[in-house]
Amino acid sequence: MITGASTGIGLALARHLVATTEHHVVLTARNASLSRFAGTGIEHGERVWIRALDVTSDTDRLRVVREIDDVLGGVDALVNNAGVALRAVVEHVREADRMRQMDVNFRAPMELARLVLPAMRARRAGRIVNVSSVAGMMAMPTMAAYAASKFALEGASEALWYEVRPFGIHVSLVQPGFVRSDGFEHVLSTSLSACSQDRTDDPYHAHYAHMRGFVERLMQRAPSTPDHVARVIARTLARRRPPLRVAGTLDAHFFTLLRRLLPRSLYHALLYRSLPSVGTWGAVNSEPCRSSLVDRPEEKR
């Protein structure tokens, strides 16, 4: 069962598994995203199920897992891939924004894991792969809520690894770094962060302007693609004893080594000095964007 299977890494993994395995594959996406499967070469059939699933919906989650339990005897392997990214500094994130980010990237995968575990535990076998990010081990400015959701996913998955290992269930975190895709175009903003990005006199405008361009350049030049990450996930699913953490891209290996080898004070100082045009950040300190609106960004899942 793959969540967020209609685009990006999820779609690449769906194509790979449909083409290379004889297993039943259950592909899920929000109802509004199901049309994306048209033209991909993936069609609903006896072996390949396509199901509507809003991962934040209790009703949808229970419906899909119950159907798999009733017809197929349970989920053998769950890949929690659906996710959303919010671009906003901490000052521009309200509680509603924060909870929406956590709902998709943390609460939903853990609830899906909870629902599939009884059948896995009864069989004393199963695989859960949570697609994390290098943002789950190192945070970037303007992406605080996103990093928080991935840090939470990493911590809960690590605890789960210990809890279910006695039952023969394996839990893994795949951590992609920068992936060559148009993903940067789909990053969401709150009303306050959108205002700051538009207003050159806002105190945080330089943060957004330089970080956005920086991330876009890294993604456009990244050697790793969604297909590359999909193959990493497929290999992780096939391993007899998969590790808890798996680097999903080449740069993820580099960031892991950097974090392990450098003293923490040097590590943070180096990353700070590496931020694009960081000397210009904070130069403007006029009245920041203010809004009475309750931010309700529309997630892409």
Q: Do 9 and 224 meet the contact criterion of CB atoms below 8 Å apart?
A: no
Q: Is residue 38 part of a domain?
A: yes
φ/ψ of 46, rounded to 5, equals: -65, -40
Domain region containing 62? 8-280
Query: Strand ranges (DSSP E) for the chain?
Result: 25-29, 48-52, 77-80, 86-87, 126-131, 169-175, 188-189, 245-247
- Write down the pLDDT at residue 297: 44
pLDDT of residue 39 exceeding 90: no
Q: Which of 161-170, 178-187, 230-239 has the lowest mean pLDDT?
A: 178-187
Q: What is residue 291's predicted lDDT score, i.e. its pLDDT?
A: 63
Q: What are the strands of the beta sheet with 77-80, ordered from one edge? A: 77-80, 126-131, 169-175, 245-247
Taking the C-alpha atoms of residue 57 and residue 62, their distance in angstroms, rounded to an integer, is 9
Q: Is 146 a catalytic residue?
A: yes
Q: Kindly name the residue from 146, 157, 181, 208 that is annotated as catalytic.
A: 146
Catalytic residue chosen out of the listed positions 6, 33, 132, 189: 132
What percentage of the chain has pLDDT greater than the value 70?
A: 96
CA distance 172 to 237: 9
The reply to whether 201 falls in a domain is yes
Compute the average pLDDT of residues 264-272: 96
What whole-number distance in Å separates Cα of residue 81 and Cα of residue 235? 15
**Residue 43 scores a pLDDT above 80:** yes
Which of 6, 33, 149, 150 is an active site residue? 150
Are 41 and 94 contacting, i.e. CB atoms less than 8 angstroms apart? no
In a domain, 292, yes or no: no
Question: Residue 257 falls within a domain, yes or no?
Answer: yes
pLDDT for residue 186 is more than 90: no
What mean pLDDT do residues 215-228 have?
A: 95
Radius of gyration of the chain measured on its C-alpha atoms: 20
Structure tokens at 276: 């694009």
CATH number of domain containing 140? 3.40.50.720
Q: With a threshold of 0.75, does the pTM exceed it? A: yes
Residue 294 lies in a domain: no
Whether the per-residue pLDDT at 301 is higher than 50: the answer is no
Residue 300 lies in a domain: no
Structure letter (DSSP) for residue 287 = P
Residue 39 · residue 1 · CB < 8 Å: no
Work out how many domains the chain is built from and give that number. Answer: 1
Distance of alpha carbon 57 from alpha carbon 61, whole angstroms: 6
**pLDDT value of residue 294:** 44
Active site residue 300: no
Q: Is residue 12 part of a domain?
A: yes
Q: What is the mean pLDDT of the chain?
A: 94
What is the rounded distance in angstroms from the CA atom of residue 234 to the CA atom of residue 9?
11
Model confidence at 261, in pLDDT bands (50, 70, 90)?
Answer: very high
Average confidence (pLDDT) over 221-227: 95
Annotation marks residue 272 as catalytic: no
Q: Is residue 136 part of a domain?
A: yes
